[in-house]
Structure 1
Amino acid sequence: MNKTIVLACFLAVTMIYSCKKKGKESHPEVKVVFKKKQVVYQVFTRLFGNTNNNNKPWGTIEENGVGKFNDFTNTALKEIKDLGVTHIWYTGVPHHDVITDYTEYGISNDDPDVVKGRAGSPYAVKDYYNVNPDLAENPANRLEEFKALIERSHKAGLKVIIDIVPNHVARNYQGLTNPDGVNDFGANDDKSVAYRVDNNFYYNPAESFKVPVFERDYKPLGGDNHPLSDRQFDENPAKWTGNGSRLSQPNFHDWYETVKVNYGISPDGKKDFDELPEGYENEGFRKHFEFWQDKTVPNSWDKFKDIALYWLDMGVDGFRFDMAEMVPVEFWSYMNSSIKTKNSDAFLLAEVYNPSLYRDYIKKGKMDYLYDKVELYDTIKHVMQGHGKTDNIPPIQEGLKDIEHHMLHFLENHDEQRIASPEFAGSPDKGKPAMVVSATISTSPTMIYFAQEVGEDGSENAGFGKPSRTSIFDYIGVPTLQKWVNDKQFDGGKSTEEEKALRDFYKRLLNFTINSSALASNYEDIHLYNRNNTEGYNDKVLSFVRWSTDEKLIIISNFDDTNTYNFNLEIPENVIKKWQMEDGNFNTNDELYNQYSSSLNIEDSKGIINMEIKPLESFILKIK
């Protein structure tokens, strides 16, 4: 098999690929096996190492403190790696709008009237060729400090992911350290027209931007005085807002701190670029890369491609793309094929919420992974809250079985409520069965959000950010994490026994997932079979099986926080036949805590295990 075939199959998935041999059209069937599962640790970089617990609403950087790149010490990174993590997503790295004054470093001040929070939104990027000055011990040396963090992360065995936000940029975008020949977004735009294919932004000619009418009692910076907080922002002509609003005075609930990037789609929806030929959804990234080589693409496409390649050159191993579905899929073919051509192992994760677009963004857009938010996450959340049924989970896996490897699973991220918050589940323990299911039901990567593993409830009133979600807009401390950080010893020295036990659970689970061959291979539901055939088995319990040639697992979780269930779990005949097992008794052992064992009795090609499962308990039973 030549290198082209190997690269076309880089995901190493258990499915059949159509590949091309060099110089000759052919479609051999190539069966390959998934690599081991991956685990992404999303960390909000500015909050991780902050040991200040003042937590004043709308507090300044001096009052509430801020974490730094240098807080990710070798010890801290080793502890994250040992949790069972393969990739670390440093959220909030590119230089975005902040209110802290860095003018002595040549950085212009940002206007509170178009900045959300005092620390600013990480998704209003001001300069893509540098990093957030808040995160550096010496802001003049901030890029070198981040390069050193990349090196430490790699030394710890972690791959590095950062954000790219292609749909929008900050209203006051200004690159201070652009490479030679790189112009800022909008620098060469014709602002006399609403649209031109090579304009980076959309405009309302002859109209000036107006700050939104703020609702209720909202005041920038909580009402603190600031010389730029005057309900004025100089933008003439007005640009369209990031979420697509064409109003020169956007609504308060619009993404008014950002402007929409133009990808060559006219206001009436016409695409001023080439579209992919029919059948290209079945082609590999190299074929996509070749397709674009003789095509003229909009200027914004090249700008973002160059940004991605710049960070790859610095050592970044992948990207999380914000609101990817708001950008045409053809751009992603162009962008991602360029990334993969440079680094075929780059990890590409996209925020796409419309299930009807999943396959286009994976197959045409060449994304590795998408959030499984509106199906698996939302369904599991309802079950955790007590008003959903586990019966709804197996059909999700069935509906996504052709792309299941590409649907990244999570229970928390920066956009979602903390599990322990009253608004979600009210207890971190309710996340345990959900986490077992989320992490073991497919071959896809698992993601956890920093402090999820110690039960953070996100209850702080940070200012712009509201309780239940750890604020991404404010300078704030994360109390349960701070106890684990323990004055930067990163040893859990101040954690409660409950927090230590929870972290131990995550560590056991995640390390098992990244070392299991079965979790990188076959899946079959047995839940719906047991719902129809097993007395005492109900819609608070979920079960399924996973297997490979050398490992057979029976996974069962109880989402009920009150009741213990006893029943004879049945393993259907079709599963026993796939396992090629004969009648007899076989020992099983729980791989999570090694404190539960049972016997699988196979008779007439049907398996039975007598189960007792306590509230919020899960078992990963390995057949010996």
Structure 2
Amino acid sequence: MINSTNLLALKIQQIKQSAPANTQSATAPQEQKAVNSGLLNAYLNNLAMINTPAVTKTETTAPVNYHNDLKTLFQNNQAKILAIVPRTFNAKDLNGNDYIDGNEQHGTFLNAIERLDEVKASGFNTLHVLPISTPGKIKAMGTAGSVYAPKDMLEIDPTLIDKNDPRSDKEQFKAFIDECHKRGIRVMLDLPSCASYEMFLNMPELMAVEKDGLAKTPQGWNDIRMLQPWEDEGKRTLNPKLLEYHKKFVDMCIDLGIDGIRADVARTKPAEFWDIIIPYSHMRDPEFGWLAETYTYEDASPQANMPHDRPEDSLRAGFDLIYGQYHIFHEWPDAETFMNYVKEQLDMSYKLPKGKSLIGSFATHDDISPMFHGGAEYCNLTMGLQATLPMLNPYIVDGYQTGDDYLYSFANKYNPETQTDNHEMTVHRGRLDIFNLSRKPGGTQPEIGNFMKNAFEMRDKYLDVITKGTFIQLDKENDKNDQIITYARHFNGKTLLVVANKNVNRSVACKIKVPTLKADQELNNLLPSYGKESVLQAKDNELCVDLGPARVHVFEIDTPNIENFCDKIYKQNL
């Protein structure tokens, strides 16, 4: 008894010596009367110290009356998402060599705040923040390590911290989150699917191994190791330690004020795993949103050590939205393939709880820059589609706004200075760099961002039509190679007509059947003009078009009864 008391007293003394001054819990209770009964007082103070939340309240930055609504935003198709890598988001590459060296400043949580007004003005209301954990340094890719190869998912990368600011790592991240919330921008944090080699060594209880005891590595990657979701896969018994680790990640997010999670390669965990983790998050925050990197069908699946994608299982397990398959839009040969995919997703929605959706995954950080598929015109084409399609939340990767082709002059070159055991500045050609301390994303064609902003404004103006309305496939004639995409969106008597040329190289003409359209209908494009001009002529019940390469047009037309004369009408389960 005496020994126990002495140990407790020593522990209390250590806590008092190490406790920071003038800090306040983010969930501080009302002031309590002091307890002056010796050992009881010491015991209660010790409990209070142990149970103090990791994130302290930051009085100067906390937003007023902010309430998370990300889950509702997803379900109503109202999120407009920008994906960012914090360590490059506002990097200052002064000498123009495409990476940060010397006294140049890489991206941090605090200097990222400088760009938030730009994000807001561009029309975004949600940030997808790629992983912020310390990357592994052994068997690493690149000179900074992949953001998807975490040393510990619960540890914040010190690279993201401004060392001249006295606040802790979590306090600085919280300051960034609070500044986002002040502007009405929600924050969704990326949850890595795998681990670094160091994490494999340090946390073997979480890791998957082959029969010979070697780490399981996903095909095509040499810097990450697979986690083990199963304790006994045959009995469908989950790994309790991995579950607990992910609960701690969720707790960290919610304590920081994060609004949701994007689960990287969600198929690395079974539906049973997410059946526990997602409801756990909703016990603390019912509006906590979940995005699964799950494709409708993954071309490379199943990779070695990687199961099939299961989109419907993921959505039933609690994910609000998935990636879908728009990232291969450029590979689809014709309009019919595209239209069939849209209808397939709308049909799928009736097999699921209401409000399940997709992101506009035309280009994610895993994909080559859309500039390679047709330049600014292709970017505008896909933006016009994103802005008007059903069952979709628009999604953009930082750099798209100005046409970044993600070509880095240092690509795969030797660098004597490195933070890892690798001196090669690894990049994937044409893709956003996630391996090095590289420049801020950006290109030389700001007109892309201007078109995007206008498309977002058009979407907001006709929000009910686009997010709640029917999707009407229109018939056409004389489109020999089936390159014209055309559909109507209709809600409560209001109609938007969308016509687009999928061909990025040449103009295409055809006749589109638009029931109840009048010959005197004014055709005022709701999107900015670009590229080669199109020719359009309205006639009774039809529209004759000759669309320039990769041109997309959206018109409001006076056809309140169009649904009565169409038989290809589809709607999301809302």
Normalised to the residue count of structure 1, the TM-score between the two structures is: 0.66
**8 A contact 2:216–2:225 mirrored in 1:** yes
Q: Partners of 2:248 and 2:361 in 1: how far apart?
A: 30
Displacement of 1:610: 3.5
Q: Partners of 1:454 and 1:519 in 2: how far apart?
A: 26
Aligned match of 1:232: none
Q: 1:565 to 1:169 in 2, by over 3 A?
A: closer
Q: Partners of 1:92 and 1:417 in 2: how far apart?
A: 20
- Give SS of 1:545's match: strand
Aligned match of 1:360: 313
Written as runs of structure 1 = structure 2, the 5 A alignment for 1:59-458 is 61-62=101-102, 65-73=105-113, 76-97=115-136, 110-111=137-138, 114-138=139-163, 141-165=168-192, 167-173=193-199, 186=203, 199-203=205-209, 240-243=215-218, 255-266=221-232, 269-273=233-237, 298-353=240-295, 355=297, 357-363=310-316, 365-373=317-325, 376-378=326-328, 380-382=329-331, 388-403=333-348, 405-420=356-371, 424-425=372-373, 427-458=375-406
- Give SS of 2:555's match: strand
Q: Partners of 1:500 and 1:344 in 2: how far apart?
A: 38
Q: Partners of 1:12 and 1:416 in 2: how far apart?
A: 25
Q: 1:623 aligns with which of 550, 554, 557?
A: 557
**8 A contact 1:171–1:257 mirrored in 2:** yes
Q: Partners of 1:265 and 1:513 in 2: how far apart?
A: 47
- Give SS of 2:450's match: helix
Displacement of 1:368: 0.8
Q: Partners of 1:398 and 1:591 in 2: how far apart?
A: 25
Displacement of 1:480: 3.0
**8 A contact 2:368–2:430 mirrored in 1:** yes
Q: 1:202 to 1:79 in 2, by over 3 A?
A: closer
Q: 1:86 to 1:389 in 2, by over 3 A?
A: same
Aligned match of 2:81: 40
- Give SS of 1:506's match: helix
Aligned match of 1:555: 498
Q: 1:12 to 1:430 in 2, by over 3 A?
A: closer
**8 A contact 1:84–1:514 mirrored in 2:** no
Amino acid at match of 1:434: T
**8 A contact 2:346–2:391 mirrored in 1:** no
Amino acid at match of 2:549: P
Q: Partners of 1:366 and 1:513 in 2: how far apart?
A: 27
Q: 2:466 aligns with which of 503, 512, 519?
A: 519
Q: 1:536 to 1:272 in 2, by over 3 A?
A: closer
Displacement of 1:36: 5.0
**8 A contact 1:241–1:255 mirrored in 2:** no
> Structure 1 stretch 309-318 or stretch 123-132: which is displaced more?
123-132
Displacement of 1:60: 6.6
- Give SS of 2:455's match: helix
Deviation string for 1:468-524 (max 9, x for gaps)?
A: 11221012214635xxxxxxxxxxxxxx5xx22221101111232244211102343
- Give SS of 1:319's match: strand
Displacement of 1:138: 1.4
Q: Partners of 1:72 and 1:328 in 2: how far apart?
A: 35
Deviation string for 1:131-164 (max 9, x for gaps)?
A: 2111121187322211100000001110001111
Amino acid at match of 1:472: I
Q: 1:444 to 1:561 in 2, by over 3 A?
A: closer
Q: Partners of 1:345 and 1:550 in 2: how far apart?
A: 32
- Give SS of 1:431's match: helix
Q: 1:63 to 1:473 in 2, by over 3 A?
A: farther
CA-based RMSD of the aligned residues comes to 3.1
Q: Partners of 1:87 and 1:538 in 2: how far apart?
A: 38
Deviation string for 1:387-430 (max 9, x for gaps)?
A: x222211111222213465222222221110112xxx3252322
Matched, 1:507 2:453: yes
- Give SS of 2:152's match: strand
Amino acid at match of 1:418: S
Q: Partners of 1:48 and 1:591 in 2: how far apart?
A: 31
**8 A contact 2:81–2:393 mirrored in 1:** yes
Q: 1:453 to 1:185 in 2, by over 3 A?
A: same
**8 A contact 1:56–1:63 mirrored in 2:** no
Q: Partners of 1:425 and 1:538 in 2: how far apart?
A: 19
Report % sequence identity: 18
- Give SS of 2:378's match: helix
Q: Partners of 2:221 and 2:321 in 1: how far apart?
A: 25
Q: Partners of 1:204 and 1:443 in 2: how far apart?
A: 40
Q: Partners of 1:618 and 1:11 in 2: how far apart?
A: 29
- Give SS of 1:473's match: coil
**8 A contact 2:88–2:441 mirrored in 1:** no
Displacement of 1:87: 0.5
Q: Partners of 2:174 and 2:121 in 1: how far apart?
A: 22
Amino acid at match of 2:206: N
Aligned match of 2:548: 614
Displacement of 1:360: 0.9
Q: Partners of 2:374 and 2:105 in 1: how far apart?
A: 28
**8 A contact 2:131–2:191 mirrored in 1:** no
The runs of 5 or more residues in structure 2 that have no matched partner are 1-70, 298-308, 350-355, 412-424, 559-574
Deviation string for 1:93-137 (max 9, x for gaps)?
A: 22223xxxxxxxxxxxx33xx111111111111233332111121
Normalised to the residue count of structure 2, the TM-score between the two structures is: 0.71
Displacement of 1:64: 6.8
Q: Partners of 2:387 and 2:231 in 1: how far apart?
A: 39
Amino acid at match of 2:126: H
Q: Partners of 1:61 and 1:12 in 2: how far apart?
A: 40
Q: 1:502 to 1:121 in 2, by over 3 A?
A: same
**8 A contact 2:398–2:441 mirrored in 1:** no
Displacement of 1:312: 1.2
**8 A contact 2:146–2:434 mirrored in 1:** yes
Q: Partners of 1:300 and 1:466 in 2: how far apart?
A: 30
Q: Partners of 2:276 and 2:202 in 1: how far apart?
A: 19
**8 A contact 2:93–2:440 mirrored in 1:** no
Amino acid at match of 2:280: S
- How many residue pairs get aligned? The number is 451
